[in-house]
Amino acid sequence: MPGLVIVGAQWGDEGKGKVTDLLAERAEMIVRFQGGNNAGHTIVRDGEEFKFHLIPSGILYPEKTCAIGNGVVLDPRILLGEIDGLRRRGVDVGNLKISANAHLIMPYHVLLDTAGELKLGKLSLGTTRRGIGPCYADKALRLGIRVQDLLDEKILRAKIRTALASKQQALRELSVQRRKLRKEAGEGDREAAGQAIGDAPDPRLDLHAMTEEHISYGHRLEPHIADTARLCWDTLDAGKTVIFEGAQATLLDLDHGTYPFVTSSNPIAGAATVGAGVGPNDIEEVWGVAKAYATRVGAGPFPTEIEDAAGRHMLERGHEYGTTTGRERRCGWIDLVALRYAVRINGMTSLAITKLDVLGGLETLRVAVRYRSREGALLDSFPYHQSILHGATPEYEELPGFDADISGCRKAADLPSEARAYLEYIEELAGVPIRLVGVGPGRDQVVWMD
Ligand code: GDP
């Protein structure tokens, strides 16, 4: 399995971290290819929980190379915080490599992200306000600052100066907005008002201070900066496996998701080639990770969303709160219309179904098999037009639930027959084999299917 991509098959938070961690055992190198520190992977190892926002999940294997590819946007302050956090817990980060071509999230990106969301008011997208979207926008505008720029003070200063110039108007508007908010909040609440709009101390936007600060980040990151595409080629050419680890998920893809309620990069499998620097032929397997139900964070269409007792069961038993933001996730039944779409658009070869244990105790399990449009038409495939998707209601098949606590199951035969029937139904309609099933958060709480 030389090149293997792992993607989210739904709306994110499917448990890609754990699946990557398990498959990484057989790989030589693990590469993140898109997104930024808006991702949040959780891995539980020997009862200890690790949360990663930027660093690839494979970092817990000291002998494997972990890379942050050119397609990722990274906030150097956050990355250094993650590196320090891992070091404090005794994890060796010597094998972490960072693409010299990855773009940097600068302090003004974070401010602009927050300001943009506030400006949109009720129409806000629910971004994580970490500056990811504005950073990708600057990349497309050719105003981006890249990791390699941290190593040359003259270049860095000139690039920051150019990037800042085009943002003066927006930043001026932001400071007016900030003053207004502070005035409204009164003296005592100044701090709270500042936090509400992501206020950063102004010196961080000063050209000189920002350059100095980033040069010091460059010194610290320098041992990790590398030509990560070449590292991928060398590993693949030696016949060894590279895992391309996606963040977010298919239905949040900038081009193929539920635009505009999407992320600002392409999490689908094809993007691994661009975001890591390999060719399509280098990819042999694509694993999609889906929960046994569905969740979504933030705004946007979610046809199978439920707010009844079953939805609360999923929320509570599944601890459906965001790793990065702590936000409550919206919950619903598994959506096979959307899953079939994800299978096709990613060229998926295998499925990993996570959190099956969470459904234990529900009397009936519902599976969305098609949608009905507002006009009454039956839709077997995922609608490309947003108005149709917004008006679509799912049609369900019902399957018997299972009562037992399945967290101790380790073989398919250990699973209750209803759970097996549920998986077989999903596999049949999705059209790809389920190779792995999660029955609990622990690394060992997994069933490898035959
Ligand atoms: P990711 O961003 O796709 O890696 O997903 P997250 O890490 O945000 O969310 C997955 C959460 O589910 C984490 O807290 C995992 O520990 C947990 N998890 C993963 N697989 C399973 C599973 O099979 N069962 C249960 N109960 N929890 C799981």
Segment 261-308, tens digit of pLDDT = 999 999 999 999 999 999 999 999 999 999 999 999 988 999 999 999
How close is the Cα of 240 to the center of ligand 1, in Å? 27
Q: Residue 372 forms beta bridges with which residues?
A: 378, 393
**CB of residue 288 inside a 6 A radius of ligand 1:** no
The token duo for 334 is: 């598994």
The per-residue pLDDT for 201 is: 46
Return the percentage of the chain with pLDDT > 90, whole number.
Answer: 74
Range ranked top by mean pLDDT from 21-25, 178-182, 336-340: 336-340
The token duo for 170 is: 């927006």
pLDDT category of residue 257 using cuts at 50, 70 and 90 = very high
**CB of residue 16 inside a 6 A radius of ligand 1:** yes
Q: Residue 213 above 60 pLDDT?
A: yes
pLDDT category of residue 125 using cuts at 50, 70 and 90 = low
H-run or E-run covering 52: strand 48-52
Q: pTM for the complete prediction?
A: 0.91
The token duo for 235 is: 């590993």
The per-residue pLDDT for 103 is: 98
Exposure string of 307-317, with b = 16+ CB inside 10 Å and e = fewer, is eeebbebbbee
Contact 40, 322 (CB under 8 A): yes
How close is the Cα of 441 to the center of ligand 1, in Å? 6
- Over residues 121-148, mean pLDDT: 86
Return the percentage of the chain with pLDDT > 70, whole number.
Answer: 91
Q: Residue 242 above 60 pLDDT?
A: yes
pLDDT category of residue 202 using cuts at 50, 70 and 90 = low
pLDDT category of residue 51 using cuts at 50, 70 and 90 = confident
pLDDT category of residue 324 using cuts at 50, 70 and 90 = low
Question: Residue of the nearest CA to atom 13 in ligand 1?
Answer: 42
**DSSP3 helix / strand / coil % (the chain, rounded to 5):** 40, 20, 40
How close is the Cα of 261 to the center of ligand 1, in Å? 22
Chain-centre distance of CA 303, in angstroms? 21
How close is the Cα of 163 to the center of ligand 1, in Å? 38
* Range of lowest pLDDT (188-197, 307-316, 389-398): 188-197
Q: Residue 124 above 80 pLDDT?
A: no
Contact 241, 23 (CB under 8 A): no
405: annotated active-site residue: no
**CB of residue 443 inside a 6 A radius of ligand 1:** no
The per-residue pLDDT for 186 is: 63
**CB of residue 14 inside a 6 A radius of ligand 1:** yes
The per-residue pLDDT for 178 is: 67
Q: Residue 445 above 80 pLDDT?
A: yes
- Please report the atom of ligand 1 found closest to the CA of residue 43: 16
pLDDT category of residue 185 using cuts at 50, 70 and 90 = low
313: annotated active-site residue: no
The per-residue pLDDT for 159 is: 96
The per-residue pLDDT for 323 is: 66
Closest CA to 228 of 133, 284, 148, 152: 148
